[in-house]
Structure 1
Amino acid sequence: MTADYRTVNRANWDERAPAHAASPDYGIERYVDDPEHLSDVIRFDRPRLGEVAGLRVVHLQCHIGTDTLSLHRLGARVTGLDFSGASLAQARALAARTGADIDFVESDVYDAAQVLEPGGFDLVYTGIGAICWLPDIRRWAQVVGALLRPGGRLFIREGHPMLWALDEARTDGLLAVEYPYFERPEPLVFDEPGTYVATDATFTHNLTHEWNHGLGEIVTALLDAGLDLTMLQEHDSAPWNALPGVTECDERGEWRLRDRPWRLPMTYTLQARRRP
């Protein structure tokens, strides 16, 4: 019998959370040393995020809490939610070290409206590399709609589904579509020993189940869940080296294609507001 995707993926994240917190790529000590330091993702999107001071915010799939802490530092009242207890242990430790009053809740994202207050949030936030772990984007959108108060908004920056569809392991410089662009019932199953940050750690739980979701599927799911799209911006850059060998880092720490970067959307920022 095939293992439940949540069990497989949770084992992967639980094992990697301490390595992520210790890696210089997450730079945990910078948050401790500088009370104004923000994550690269939040800093990139500040012009689009707007004023969040005083808002009640839930950060879905918050991992080790660096974006969550950054939202708190912008004045939001934040709750972080994640299904990985090991990730939340690191998030709570970071909040304690920085004196941040942040609630962290362990739950599968699909159960968020059962463990948090339905209609109780001004802003649902989710960041890079979150929704690819979810098999059903329509169910995710229903959760977002259930959490938001009328007039509340969703803010998401994510890897672009076109990027997720590419073969990142090619060494000839060609951009080749290898994986589904659209959501499929069956997961993409990967068995990869490393992780996306610099670390000397070795891992034993290397299996993951992942899904892509087309941009139209995401937008339509949100519309059907009672939200109206208010912004959709596609970016030719990503905050990590998504295609090693063919990208270069700019002055903001964003990575884009070295050759004609306008060929590929690498990430997008989307906002939507729940209808009254």
Structure 2
Amino acid sequence: MEDYKHYFESNRQLWNKRTPLHRQSAFYNVDAFVAGQTSLNNIELEELGDVQGKALLHLQCHFGQDTLSWARQGANATGIDLSDASIEEARRLNQQLGLDAKFVQSNVYDLKENLQGQFDIVFTSYGTIGWLPDLEQWSDIINHFLKPGGTFYMVEFHPVAWMFDDDFKEIAYPYHNTYTPIVTETEQSYTDGSSHEKLTEYGWNHSLGEVVSSLTAKGLQLEFLHEFPYSPYNNFRHMEQGADGYWRIKHLGSKIPLLYSIKVNKPKN
């Protein structure tokens, strides 16, 4: 991963700047979270199911709300993230809530050097794999940390959504991963228009074929792949909320997918 190190470092600095903004934002609503509100959505709660007593590893956990929500559901939860500021905030929240989740600062690709053990569940969600250039190494990490008989579950924004320009008017980016980063100069976060100094972010789009094939190539068995024409978040431009509570691009309705979820299982033998 030598060639990608400066991309990761730039992204780490970006998330270090965003973390305090997100901690204070209405988007993450930390006050309600501390008071007992879960940060998890019905999609992942229903599709992943009971986590009581299970060891759960959360990849790219940001400042830990979902990790801590799974801990509240009874999981023995561990969260990892590239951003040291995010991990520090996650640890503060864990202590404030009196939970026993663990948090590790690490690039996903370096996790074998920074974490030991295996887990019943590996989980990741909403805006994670687009920060990773190579899914072969990602799936190797997942397989390494899954116990035999364990489950990997992810819910993520659909690669079709990432093909569009910000206004969802034109196709601006490739569907398939070219391994050349999509470079964006940004001084605004997706939360409440919060702004920071201008920073560069590097991302990669991943087709559904690439995601599924990277996992099954490790011997993991696909249980399902689901696609959804909506998002639980008002996270793109020109969104409107439907009667079902979910958000869609106003001028596109349900014509394009905005989310997908995948569940795979590691054979017991």
Q: Which residue in 2 is equivalent to 1:19?
A: 21
Out of 11, 20, 23, which is 1:9 matched to? 11
Instruction: Quote the residue 2:254 is aligned against.
Output: 262
Q: Does 1:235 align with 2:237?
A: no
Aligned residues with identical type, % of pairs: 35
Distance 1:32 1:58, change over 3 A: same
**How far apart are 1:195 and its partner, in Å?**
0.3
**Which runs of 5 or more residues in structure 2 are unaligned?**
none
1:69 Cα offset (Å): 1.0
Give the ranges of 4+ consecutive aligned residues of structure 1 lying more than 6 Å apart after TM superposition.
none
Q: Partner of 1:55 in structure 2?
A: 54
Give the drift of 1:149.
0.7
Question: Which stretches in structure 1 are left out of the alignment for 5+ residues?
Answer: none
SS in 2 for 1:161: coil
Name the TM-score, length of structure 1 as normaliser.
0.91
Matched, 1:244 2:242: no
Q: CA deviation at 1:240?
A: 2.5
Greater displacement, 129-138 / 86-95: 86-95
Cα distance, 1:253–1:16 mapped onto 2, change above 3 Å: farther
- TM-score of the aligned structures, taking structure 2 as reference length: 0.93
Partner of 1:29: 31
Q: Does 1:141 align with 2:135?
A: no
Q: Which amino acid aligns with 2:109?
A: Y
One-letter amino acid matched to 1:255? W
The residue number in structure 2 matching 1:183 is 177
Q: What is the deviation of 1:45?
A: 2.0
CA distance in 2, matches of 1:3, 1:18: 24
Deviations 1:43-76 (Å, cap 9, x if unpaired)? Answer: 3321111111010000000001111111111110
Q: Tell me which residue corresponds to 1:73.
A: 72
Q: Note if contact 1:194-1:203 (Cα within 8 Å) is conserved in structure 2.
A: yes
Q: Secondary structure at the match of 2:90?
A: helix
CA contact (8 A) 2:41 2:232 kept: no
Residue 78 of structure 1: how far off its partner (Å): 0.2
Higher mean C-alpha displacement, 152-161 vs 91-100:
91-100
What are the residue-to-residue correspondences of 1:217-232 with 2, within 5 Å? Answer: 217-232=210-225
Contact 2:56 2:119 in 1 (8 A): yes
Give how far 1:113 is off. Answer: 2.5
Counterpart position of 2:206 = 213
| Cα distance change on mapping 1:205 and 1:90 into 2, 3 Å | farther
Q: Tell me the secondary structure at the aligned position of residue 8 of structure 1.
A: helix
Retained in 2: the 8 A contact 1:42–1:70? no
* Aligned-partner Cα distance in 1 for 2:191–2:257: 22
Q: Is the 8 A contact 1:235 1:265 kept in 2?
A: yes
CA-CA distance at 1:260 after TM superposition: 5.5
Q: CA deviation at 1:165?
A: 1.1
Matches within 5 A, 1:70-219: 70-118=69-117, 120-169=118-167, 174=169, 176-198=170-192, 200=194, 202-219=195-212
Alignment check: 8 A CA contact 1:42 1:71 kept: no
